[in-house]
Chains A and B, each alone.
Chain A
C-alpha cells in the first residue's frame, strides 16, 4: 500500500525527491529536549539545514528500541515534566515549516491517551502519521482503523530477522514508507551500516513496499551517502541528538545540530541513484 495512498504527505514528498533523483533525509529529535520549546526550535533549525522529514519522538519511561544517547535525552525530557499531549502543539509548529512531521512513539502512551483521540488530535495538528517501534501490524487493528479514518501514515518497522511473510505483511499494512532497521540492534551510532541493510531494502521492496527508508546506526554524512544510493530515505537520530546533549547551551546545540544536519543533507544529495 505504501505510496499508492493518495493522502500520504510523507509518500508524496518522498516521491518528489525520488523524481529529483535523490533520497530523503529524515531527522529524529525527542520532544522536550532541552525543553518543549527548545525541541521545537531544534527541529526547525534541522529543517532549515536540509532535513526533508521530521521524526518527533514522544518521551517514554521504557524505550526498549533506543540506545544510551536517546535514553539520556528522553530521561531529561521526562524529568523536566514533558507531557504527552504537548506533542500536538509541537507538531503544529514544526509542520508550519512545510515538511511532513511523523511522531515516533512507543505504544502505551497512545493506548493511555486513546488510539482514536490520539489519531484525531495528531491529524488536527497537521501531523503526517506515526512511527511505532513496539507495535507490529498484528497488534495494530485499532491503529489501522484510526489512521484510515484520519488519513495518517503508519510506519511499521522491518528488521534483518524478518521473514519474507512478515515483510509482506508489514509492507501491506504500512502507509508512507516502511522503516528498515539497518542492523540488528537498538538506535545509536555505529562504525558501519550493516551490510544487510541493502539486502533488506531489496527484500522489502520485493515483498511489495514502494518506499523504504533505512535507520538505526546511521550517523555520518558518508554513511548517509552510502544508504542514499539504495534507500528512499536515510533516518538519523542518535547522532543529531548527541549534538544537543554535548553542547554547552541550547543555542550552541542548535548550531551544531544544523551543521551536522547540513552535512548529512549534502551527503544524501551527493549520492548517485
Chain B
C-alpha cells in the first residue's frame, strides 16, 4: 500500500486500496486472526505464576465459544440488559463540517447501559468467570468506564469486585469512584508510579499473581497477555457486525471509511473487525495527540513509539532509550496509555489500518461541535474519532469514489463523565459557581 502517494490520512485511492487488501487476505481472513501472536506482536510476557490461569482462561473461553448456551446467554443479556442492538444515527449537521458531500453515521455505543462499549466485553468475561467457578474479579480503570462496567456486571452476577484506579484518576473522576462504590465494588487508589492507568494495571497484575486461584483479572481492553487481545476483540465484534447490517439497511452499501479512537484499542477492534477483509473500506484509528506529538506530551504510540513489551504483550510502546515506559498525556483519561493492543500494531505494520494523532484541542473542538449540531454529548475519547474524521474532509476527493463518501464512526462512549472537564476547558462555569 506504500506505493500510492499518501494523503494526510495516508489512505490510498480506491483501486490501489482494493488491490492491497485483497493481497493481504490471500493468507486467510484478517478478521479470523487468533493469538498468541499477531505477526511479531502479542505473546505472553508475564510472570510464570500467571501462566496456568491464562491457559485455564484460554481453554474456558474456547469451550464457551463452542457452546451455543454461552452465546445465547450473552445475547440475552445484551438484548435485555445492555440495550443491544445499539442504534445507528446519521448526523447530517455534523457531516456538513466534514465537507466533501460526506454522509456520516455514528454507531451509538454511548447508549449502552453504563455509557460505553466496555459492557460488551465485561459481560462476556463475567459469564466466563461464573463458568470457571471463580468468585472474585479485579479490574483496572482509567477514566472509570471499565471500572463502572465491571462493578455493574459483578453486582448483576454476584461476584466480589475490586477496582484499581490511579490516585490521580480517582481525583479527576470522583463521580465514577462513587458510582463503583454504590455498585458494591471496592475501589483502591494506586499511589505509586505515575498514579494513572498504567500503574493501576501494575497493581491489578500484582493482586492477580497473589490471588490467581480464586480471582479473575477482568482486563478492559485488547492489550495484555494471550488470550486477552483475541478474547476482548471477539466480545466487541458485535459492534461492527451490527453497524455493518444497519448501514446496509440504511444505505445499501458498505462504508468507505470506518473511524474509532484508540487507547488500548478495544472499541476500534470491535468495529474494524467486520470490515478487515472488505477491500473497499479504509480503517482509521485516532490516538491521543495531547499537546502535539512534537511536544512530547501525548499518547501517540504509532507516531512516537517503538516496538516493546509492557503488561504482557509486545506491541508499540512509548519508551525511552533504556526501555523505561515514558509518561503520557491526554485530555482523555481513556486514551492516556503508553501501549496499544498487539493486533493494532499488526494492522499498522500490514498497512491495513491507518493510525493518526488528534490533539486535545482538536478533540475538544469536535466534542463541542457534536454537542451543538446533533444534541449528543460524546465521551472525550470518542471525540478524538470525530475530530479525526473532520480532518479527513479535505482528502475525500482524492479517494476517487463514484459516490458520496460514506463514513462510519464508533461513538464509543457518552460524555456525562466529562462534563466537568469540558466545563473547565470551555470556561463555562463562573468563579462563584465552580
Residues of A within 8 A of B (CB): 60-65, 67-68, 71, 75, 78, 83-85, 107-113, 133-136, 138-139, 156-163, 166, 170, 181, 184-186
A65 vs chain B, min Cβ distance (A):
5
B216 vs chain A, min Cβ distance (A):
14
B41 vs chain A, min Cβ distance (A):
12
B residues near A133, Cβ cutoff 8 Å: 47
B residues near A61, Cβ cutoff 8 Å: 193, 324-325
A53 vs chain B, min Cβ distance (A):
21
B264 vs chain A, min Cβ distance (A):
15
26 CB contacts below 8 A, A to B, read A61-B325, A62-B193, A63-B202, A64-B205, A71-B192, A78-B324, A83-B322, A84-B322, A84-B323, A110-B323, A111-B323, A112-B322, A134-B46, A134-B309, A139-B44, A157-B49, A159-B47, A161-B49, A161-B52, A161-B53, A162-B48, A170-B48, A181-B48, A181-B49, A185-B209, A185-B210
B206 within 8 A of A: yes
Q: In the docked arrangement, what's the CA distance between A75 and B48, Å?
A: 24
Partner of A157, one of B47, B55, B192, B193: B47
Contact A166 B46 (CB under 8 A): no
Task: Using A67-B206, A109-B322, A161-B212 as known contacts, say yes or no to A134 and B45 having CB atoms under 8 A apart.
Answer: yes
Contact B47 A64 (CB under 8 A): yes
Sample of 18 further A-B pairs with CB below 8 A, known A162-B48, A186-B206 = A62-B199, A62-B325, A68-B192, A71-B192, A107-B45, A133-B47, A134-B46, A156-B48, A159-B49, A161-B49, A161-B51, A161-B212, A161-B213, A162-B51, A166-B48, A166-B52, A181-B49, A186-B209
B224 vs chain A, min Cβ distance (A):
11
Task: Using A109-B322, A139-B43, A166-B51 as known contacts, say yes or no to A62 and B202 having CB atoms under 8 A apart.
Answer: yes
Near A by CB (< 8 A), chain B positions 313-372 give 317, 319, 321-325
A73 vs chain B, min Cβ distance (A):
12
Question: Considering only CB atoms, which chain A residue lies closest to B327 in the complex?
Answer: A61
Question: Considering only CB atoms, which chain A residue lies closest to B308 in the complex?
Answer: A108
A264 vs chain B, min Cβ distance (A):
24
Question: Considering only CB atoms, which chain A residue lies closest to B211 in the complex?
Answer: A184
Contact A107 B309 (CB under 8 A): yes
A residues near B317, Cβ cutoff 8 Å: 108
B residues near A181, Cβ cutoff 8 Å: 48-49
Contact A64 B309 (CB under 8 A): no
Contact A134 B47 (CB under 8 A): yes
A272 vs chain B, min Cβ distance (A):
30
Q: In the docked arrangement, what's the CA distance between A234 and B309, Å?
A: 30
B299 within 8 A of A: no
B190 vs chain A, min Cβ distance (A):
11
B residues near A85, Cβ cutoff 8 Å: 322
Contact B47 A65 (CB under 8 A): yes
B204-237 interface mask toward A, CB cutoff 8 Å, 1 = contact, 0 = none?
Answer: 0110011111000000000000000000000000
B406 vs chain A, min Cβ distance (A):
41
B146 within 8 A of A: no
Closest 4 CB pairs of A and B: A112-B323, A159-B49, A185-B210, A109-B323
B107 within 8 A of A: no
Question: Considering only CB atoms, which chain A residue lies closest to B203 in the complex?
Answer: A64
B51 vs chain A, min Cβ distance (A):
6
Q: In the docked arrangement, what's the CA distance between A109 and B52, Å?
A: 26
A residues near B211, Cβ cutoff 8 Å: 184
Residues of B within 8 A of A (CB): 43-53, 55, 192-193, 198-199, 202, 205-206, 209-213, 308-312, 317, 319, 321-325
Question: Considering only CB atoms, which chain B residue lies closest to A112 in the complex?
Answer: B323
Q: In the docked arrangement, what's the CA distance between A170 and B52, Å?
A: 13
B7 vs chain A, min Cβ distance (A):
33
A residues near B199, Cβ cutoff 8 Å: 62
B270 vs chain A, min Cβ distance (A):
27
Contact A184 B213 (CB under 8 A): yes
Partner of A186, one of B198, B210, B325: B210
Which of B51, B52, B212 has most chain A Cβ within 10 Å?
Answer: B51
A residues near B192, Cβ cutoff 8 Å: 68, 71, 75
Question: Considering only CB atoms, which chain B residue lies closest to A181 in the complex?
Answer: B49
B residues near A83, Cβ cutoff 8 Å: 322
Contact B47 A62 (CB under 8 A): no
B residues near A78, Cβ cutoff 8 Å: 324
Task: Using A61-B324, A108-B308, A108-B310 as known contacts, say yes or no to A184 and B49 having CB atoms under 8 A apart.
Answer: yes
B residues near A138, Cβ cutoff 8 Å: 44
Contact A75 B193 (CB under 8 A): yes
Q: In the docked arrangement, what's the CA distance between A166 and B52, Å?
A: 9
Partner of A108, one of B193, B205, B213, B309: B309
Question: Considering only CB atoms, which chain A residue lies closest to B312 in the complex?
Answer: A134
B residues near A139, Cβ cutoff 8 Å: 43-45
Task: Using A83-B322, A112-B308 as known contacts, say yes or no to A136 and B49 having CB atoms under 8 A apart.
Answer: no
Q: In the docked arrangement, what's the CA distance between A118 and B46, Å?
A: 20
Task: Using A60-B324, A184-B212, A184-B213 as known contacts, say yes or no to A136 and B52 having CB atoms under 8 A apart.
Answer: no
B315 vs chain A, min Cβ distance (A):
11
B361 vs chain A, min Cβ distance (A):
29
Question: Considering only CB atoms, which chain B residue lies closest to A82 in the complex?
Answer: B322
B213 vs chain A, min Cβ distance (A):
7
Q: In the docked arrangement, what's the CA distance between A190 and B48, Å?
A: 20
Contact B323 A108 (CB under 8 A): yes
Question: Considering only CB atoms, which chain A residue lies closest to B309 in the complex?
Answer: A108
Partner of A112, one of B49, B50, B55, B321: B321
Contact B44 A157 (CB under 8 A): no
A residues near B47, Cβ cutoff 8 Å: 64-65, 133-134, 157, 159
Q: In the docked arrangement, what's the CA distance between A163 and B53, Å?
A: 11
Question: Considering only CB atoms, which chain A residue lies closest to B325 in the complex?
Answer: A61
B residues near A163, Cβ cutoff 8 Å: 52, 55
Q: In the docked arrangement, what's the CA distance between A60 and B320, Å?
A: 11
B100 vs chain A, min Cβ distance (A):
43
Question: Considering only CB atoms, which chain A residue lies closest to B50 in the complex?
Answer: A161
B residues near A166, Cβ cutoff 8 Å: 48, 51-52
Which of A60, A78, A84, A111 has most chain B Cβ within 10 Å?
Answer: A111
Task: Using A108-B319, A108-B323, A109-B322 as known contacts, say yes or no to A62 and B46 having CB atoms under 8 A apart.
Answer: no
Contact B309 A136 (CB under 8 A): no
A residues near B46, Cβ cutoff 8 Å: 64, 134, 136
B199 vs chain A, min Cβ distance (A):
8
Q: In the docked arrangement, what's the CA distance between A173 and B9, Å?
A: 46
A194 vs chain B, min Cβ distance (A):
11
